[in-house]
Amino acid sequence: MANWGEWQKALENAGITKYSDAAIPTVEIYSQIKTMGLATVEWLSFWPGQSSEIASMQADVQRFIQTKPPCLFIFEPKDLQNPQGLKKGYLFNVQNFSEIEKWISSNTNHLLSYTYLVTTQISNGGNGFVGNVFSDGVGNLVCETLHKPGVSNSRELSQPKESFSDYLDFFITRDFEVKSHQKKWLNRGLIQQILSQYESRSGYFEFVYGTHLGKTGFFTTGFVPLSQASFPTQLWEQEFHNRFGRSL
């Protein structure tokens, strides 16, 4: 298995999707991550029901951005199961509130149909990376990381728009032991830190290794429970059996 993109393609060819259709609100994802005791971003969430609440939201978002830039501004349909043509989206690396004002002024007809979230953001000064993990919580895990300088958005890995093969690394574990590793970017210490975060927890996780509010480390930014995600057992087994020459 060369990279995450091939993994996803293999899943699709087998008629399997990585997630179920049960969409999870982003604010709930962050709350679940925090409840698990994993380091994550700080955020404010908004569910405006009338126009006056949009103005109040703007004031709160502006103060947040002024004190904790850069920020991520997320908007998603209130009814994720029936979005009525609306799409979830985000503004990444927001440094100035005027960027959000511009979006609001361009979407006045649908402002009350969305929920909103403004979060702090993890930066990558050059030595950071993003990663995705599937873990069954009992020692079997698949992880891929993207080490392109400056990238701190997990979507660059989970939903790539171009090939980053030169910047990818990949490893699996079986019964809490690393059994296959591409050995491109991750050293043993970083792998152990990833395992300490996720090998005893079940689910699909997205994380960033970078700097957040002056602290450098691992920050979890995405989570889907295994009840709504498909652990790629067949592909994991294939990697395990083809590990010759690449095990630690």
- Best-predicted range by mean pLDDT among 1-15, 43-57, 78-92? 43-57
State the pLDDT confidence band at 7, using cuts at 50, 70 and 90.
low
Sheet (strand 114-120) strand order: 43-46, 114-120, 71-77, 89-94
Among all chains, which residue has been given the structure tokens 């998603």?
A: 76
| Residue 8 pLDDT | 61
Q: Among 189, 204, 195, which Cα is nearest to 173's?
A: 195
User: Which of the two residues, 107 and 183, has the higher pLDDT score?
Assistant: 107
Q: 82-137 pLDDT, tens per residue?
A: 888 899 999 999 999 999 999 999 999 999 999 999 999 999 988 999 999 999 99
Q: Reply yes or no on whether the pLDDT at 246 is more than 50.
A: no
Looking at every residue in the chain, the average pLDDT score rounds to 86
Q: Reply yes or no on whether the pLDDT at 191 is more than 80.
A: yes
| Residue 236 pLDDT | 61
Q: Reply yes or no on whether the pLDDT at 20 is more than 50.
A: no
Tokens of 64: 């947040």
State the pLDDT confidence band at 247, using cuts at 50, 70 and 90.
very low
The Cα angle at residue 60 between residues 59 and 64, in degrees rounded to 5: 120
Q: Reply yes or no on whether the pLDDT at 245 is more than 60.
A: no
**pLDDT exceeding 70 applies to what percent of the chain?**
84
State the pLDDT confidence band at 12, using cuts at 50, 70 and 90.
low
> Which ranges of 199-243 does DSSP label H, i.e. alpha helix?
233-241
Alpha carbon distance 140, 137 (integer Å): 7
What residue ranges do the domains of the chain occupy? Answer: 4-38+124-241, 43-120
Q: How does 177-187 read in b/e, with b if 16+ C-beta sit within 10 Å?
A: ebbbbbeeebe
Q: 127-182 pLDDT, tens per residue?
A: 999 999 999 999 999 999 999 999 999 888 877 777 788 999 989 898 899 988 88
Give the residue-averaged pLDDT of 176-192: 90
State the pLDDT confidence band at 202, using cuts at 50, 70 and 90.
very high
| Diameter over CA atoms, the chain | 63
User: Which of the two residues, 20 and 76, has the higher pLDDT score?
Assistant: 76
